[in-house]
Structure 1
Amino acid sequence: MTTTWPQGLPRTLDYPTGSIADLLAGSAHAFGDRTALIDGDDRLSYAELYERALRIAQGLREQGIAPGDAVAVHLPNSIWFTAAYYGILLAGAAVVPVNPAQPPLALRRQLDDSDTVAVFTHPAVARALSEAVIGSRAVRLVCVTPTTAAAPGPAGNPAAVAFPVTTVAFDALMKAEPAPATGVGGDAVAHLAFTGGTTGVPKAVRVLHRNLITNVLQVACWRSAAVPSADERGRILLRHVPAARNPHHIPLAAATGISVAPLFHGMGMVSQSVFVAAGITVKVFGRFDAARYLDTIEEMGVHAISGSPALCHALLSVPGARERDLSSVRVVSSGSAPINPAVVTELSGIFPNAVVSDGYGLTEATMGVAISPLDSAIPRPAGSTGLVLFDTEVEIRQPDRTTPVPPGERGEVWVRGPQVTAGYHGHPELTAEQYMGGWLRTGDLGTLDERGWLSLVGRAKDMLIYKGYNVYPGPLENILREHPAVAQASVVGRPHMEHGEIPVAFVVLRTEADVSASDEDLIAYVAERVAPYQRVRDVVIVEELPLSATGKILKTELRRRAADS
């Protein structure tokens, strides 16, 4: 197979032995005075971030937190989320990121499933935690962080929430004298990261330290055209590969970005360390506001932005977006779900100097598996999600789980590489189903062409069967999105007594479109472009699609609506 590869980049990386603690130490040494995080009036340089994390780590030790303990981060996005995250890792404990918006019963289940012993929380969400820890098997410590611009306090001025366990103020932890980071081995658990739960009950994935540091370096080196190294003290640093660089690559210690993805999710959480590796100055966003997001890009001259396709749709819908000066942006990274080719074209209209870089990953592979190159001269097949990262293999297999399909044919995506995690915490039977012989069964359907481009067509469980034919939602969604009146589209199957399943499309129309479309118009539009068995049989026009906290469309909810209609 003749493979496309970015010019100048090696095919494999020499990964230093170490952990995220060594990466943060390297950036604090190399970029010490550079601003790492901005959250309203709160700012931390890289040296200050490292020093705060060391203090938090020591404060946790003094509270009885031991290496290997699970510590949850029940926080909205803020500067203190990142400080707490690194403090936990530097103490040798495992980070348990939990969605701060979930109700107490769901939260308690995750705390118990992960055997969490301590929790960082925030005043705005503390009450839910106070209910969740009642009767918890293991939680014995709660730490409440201050409010910030990105994560303001609750409305009004309610009395402080009482917890039925020991409570310590965040500021008190940071008064501890900084001590060296606790050394951990590569097989120690860094994250107990819950899967998104969009198709079932979330499960905690065991992300090991070697998985985490490897994947961070894979993504950071790809984004910055760099390779990793370690100095005499074991501090991990990146250095550019001059022959591989172009204006779209993120320059080391010379770029600004925006953190808007939920930090409790793998994409947001792991990206923190990708930012650290490159010495990026990051503006922390809490609640997303598309117009304010564009304001920030203009004000700060942001180099790199990232988010889900839902975020990209929101930016395109801002009135006057095309009249703004967004020329500073050189790379738009999209993840969490495949981005429609038509959206890529539209994004280039408001970000004239940027390359749109799609990516594919999943919690079970730490974060990243494939990313499209930042070299716009490399021709990218329409609909492709990118090239497989350094030291990573992808096979497309038949339903028998063992037989690879020929290049370009559809099948299930299997992944092997150093970022593939150690399975599910407390669920050996589920681990055995998904992790086989060093390979990860992703549950995604895709193709891998002869040049190495990976394309996704949907989840295996999203595929529907109409009259015995396999129908894939992804291509139908792309066709619908090409209609000038359509803003977003998602296709699911509706059970049918005679045909098995029929394709049903849920569509959001553009409010500013020059043309309109009815459900009959859209059914006909698709029918002109596909084989008869692939035709959409029903279109439901809605005001918005249901989304998870990370911007993924909740197809389980759409299937329920389709079955009920």
Structure 2
Amino acid sequence: MKRYLPTGMPEHIDYPKGSAGDILAGTARRHPDRIALCDGELTLTYSQLYESALRCAEGLRVRGVRPGQTVALHQPNSAWFTVTYYGIMLAGAVVTPVNPALPPLALRDQLEEAGAVAVFTHPATRVALDRAAADGVRLTVVVPATEAAPDPSSAAGFPSSDVPLDDLLASAPAPATAVAGDDLAHLSFTGGTTGRSKAVRVLHRNLVANVLQMSCWRGAARPLTDGEGGIFLEHVPEAQTANSFVLGESTGVSLAPLFHAMGLVSQTISVATGSTVIVAGRFDAERFVRTIERYGVTSVPGSPTLFHSLLALPGIEHADLTSVRIVNSGAAPIDSHTMSRLDDLFPNACIVEGYGLTEATMALTAHPVLRDNPTPPGSVGAPLFDTEIEIRQLGCGPGVPTGDTGEVWARGPQITDGYHGHPDLTAEQFQDGWLRTGDVGRFDKDGWLYLVGRAKDMLIYKGYNVYPTPLEELLHQHPAVADVSVIGAQHPHAGEIPVAYVLLREGCRGGAELGCELMDFVAERVAPYQRVREVHFIEALPVSAAGKILKTVLRQRHSTSEQHN
């Protein structure tokens, strides 16, 4: 089987020792006056971003945050998210990003599991944080509202113990706290390949490696260090990018939630490549098009759900999208028909995607950034530099021949340190340096990876991984539920939706009212993307001889009933 590499690039790249903060330092010295972030009227050059992050770091130190302690980011996307992220990193602390839409009970669980001692929050999310009342949190910093993250509340104020971000930024900048490669950088929560919510231990060497893997792949570059320990990129002259991505000249849009691995790690990829990032806030298709036209955006990230909304916008064919050079789809596989339509919509762009998961920091494979993309339709690309991927028989079996389907296993410098506080789960998924991804795929003879399914029963709702087991456990807590099975059902706009098939307790009567009650019961306890979207009452759940519920039978039943409606 062949191995694809970008033309002119080596199989191996060198990974300097350092942190994401060192990448910001290197870019700030190389491109000091280039705009790094634009959030409405708030703009920060790379030198301003670095100085603000140093001030933020010193403000944390002064208030007692020590190296290795965990600080949570509980805020929507804005320029201040990025400033505070790097502030935590430069202070030598650990970042744990949490979904700002989590209900208070779930928020408390994540903050306590991560051991957060401080939280950066936002006026729109501050009330939920107060209701969470997490033990251990002794410092709450509130960031200002921005155009991307406005404050829709009419709150009169917050506790006097809260610290405005401006107070931290008033600190004098001090040198960054040194970290080692094996020190923790992130505790990133994920559903995980086993379906249980847990925090992934992302080390500094994992983060730096994955950022450089993606940056060098996309930018046809190699990493170097300056005399002060900063990390920066230099173009490899013989490498080929077809002018799709030029270091220090790209303008992108920040759309992926920054609490998600894709958004969180992409921040530093943008920094490494010297890109300007327009922080767009909540997605609106019409506003998104205006942003591209106004700023001459060259790089557009998104998910299949986002691109379906964009393609459905009336008059989209008349928009001037000629500035765009890269359209990068992530979070879930995108169908070839949509890829073709995007190719027509963005006439000067490479349409690319990749594959990864939080347990691999972010990315494992990627498409080449070439206008005449050699990646076959349906493939998620080729393994990144220094990344090995094997297809093995399901159930931890041996490798399978090229072309056969099996479970995807991966090894490389981006593979993380396992699950925080869960050695048993770590042992299941991380074996001898390999990550068992839980995904099912195959390789073709040219080395392109295809994902053909997912192990277990995970479903993807609008790009988010949703697992049935936690939803089933919640529904079992309702007094009307005797038994339940949650499956993923195809949906034209969301990809898949969670659908519950419920067996009621004796004496309980089903109907629309109880169905809504059960959906509300779950919604109060999970993030919005995890909510059950349909409830169907059933007289008996199909089971195997061993008593296991047959989800395949339920999926077929659901599909058939949908066709007849």
**TM-score, length-scaled by structure 2:** 0.82
| Other-structure match for 1:423 | 418
**TM-superposition CA deviations, 1:417-447 (whole Å, max 9, x none):** 0000000111111111100010000000111
- Equivalent pair of 2:60/2:91 in contact (CA under 8 Å): yes
2:339 is the alignment partner of 1:344: yes
SS at match of 1:171: helix
Q: What is the aligned-residue identity percentage?
A: 54
- Equivalent pair of 1:227/1:240 in contact (CA under 8 Å): yes
Map 1:44-123 → 2, pairs under 5 A? 44-123=44-123
For 2:123, give the aligned amino acid: P
| Other-structure match for 2:447 | 452
- The 1:560/1:209 distance shift into structure 2, 3 A limit, reads farther
2:141 is the alignment partner of 1:143: yes
Bigger Cα displacement from structure 2, 42-51 vs 308-317: 308-317
| Other-structure match for 2:280 | 285
For 2:151, give the aligned amino acid: G
2:227 is the alignment partner of 1:243: no
Of residues 302, 306, 313, the one that matches 2:308 is: 313
2:212 is the alignment partner of 1:214: no
Give, in whole Å, the separation in 2 of the partners of 1:330 and 1:88.
33
**TM-superposition CA deviations, 1:115-160 (whole Å, max 9, x none):** 1110000000100001112xx33111100001100000123x3211
For 1:148, give the aligned amino acid: T
Give, in whole Å, the separation in 1 of the partners of 2:201 and 2:489.
36
**TM-superposition CA deviations, 1:162-213 (whole Å, max 9, x none):** 38xx421100000011000000000000000000479844210000000001
2:323 is the alignment partner of 1:328: yes
Map 1:290-439 → 2, pairs under 5 A? 290-439=285-434
Shift of 1:223: 1.0
For 1:235, give the aligned amino acid: G
- Equivalent pair of 1:199/1:556 in contact (CA under 8 Å): no
- The 1:209/1:236 distance shift into structure 2, 3 A limit, reads same
| Other-structure match for 2:476 | none
SS at match of 2:200: strand
Give, in whole Å, the separation in 1 of the partners of 2:312 and 2:528.
18
**TM-superposition CA deviations, 1:22-61 (whole Å, max 9, x none):** 1110011000001000001000000000000000000000
- Equivalent pair of 2:6/2:217 in contact (CA under 8 Å): no
**TM-superposition CA deviations, 1:50-75 (whole Å, max 9, x none):** 00000000000000000000000001
**TM-superposition CA deviations, 1:362-407 (whole Å, max 9, x none):** 0000001000111243522220000100000000100241400111
| Other-structure match for 1:544 | none
Give, in whole Å, the separation in 1 of the partners of 2:390 and 2:447.
11
For 1:434, give the aligned amino acid: Q
Give, in whole Å, the separation in 2 of the partners of 1:190 and 1:416.
20
- The 1:553/1:350 distance shift into structure 2, 3 A limit, reads farther
Of residues 169, 187, 199, the one that matches 1:204 is: 199
Give, in whole Å, the separation in 2 of the partners of 1:416 and 1:227.
21
Structure 2 unaligned blocks of 5 or more: 461-465, 469-484, 495-522, 538-553, 559-565
- The 1:197/1:560 distance shift into structure 2, 3 A limit, reads farther
SS at match of 1:385: coil
| Other-structure match for 2:157 | 160
2:11 is the alignment partner of 1:11: yes
SS at match of 1:275: helix
Map 1:452-531 → 2, pairs under 5 A? 452-462=447-457, 506-508=490-492
| Other-structure match for 2:474 | none
| Other-structure match for 2:266 | 271
**TM-superposition CA deviations, 1:258-313 (whole Å, max 9, x none):** 00110010000100000000111110011110111111111111110101111111
Give, in whole Å, the separation in 2 of the partners of 1:25 and 1:100.
28
For 2:157, give the aligned amino acid: A
Shift of 1:505: 5.6
Give, in whole Å, the separation in 2 of the partners of 1:115 and 1:458.
35
Shift of 1:507: 4.0
- Equivalent pair of 1:248/1:355 in contact (CA under 8 Å): no
SS at match of 1:461: coil
Give, in whole Å, the separation in 2 of the partners of 1:397 and 1:410.
8
Aligned residues: 490
Give, in whole Å, the separation in 1 of the partners of 2:447 and 2:299.
25
SS at match of 2:492: strand
For 2:209, give the aligned amino acid: T
Give, in whole Å, the separation in 1 of the partners of 2:389 and 2:204.
22
Give, in whole Å, the separation in 1 of the partners of 2:3 and 2:120.
46
| Other-structure match for 2:126 | 126
- The 1:557/1:189 distance shift into structure 2, 3 A limit, reads farther
Of residues 153, 165, 173, the one that matches 2:168 is: 173
- The 1:559/1:446 distance shift into structure 2, 3 A limit, reads farther
For 2:79, give the aligned amino acid: I
- Equivalent pair of 1:384/1:455 in contact (CA under 8 Å): yes
Shift of 1:248: 4.9
- Equivalent pair of 1:124/1:153 in contact (CA under 8 Å): yes
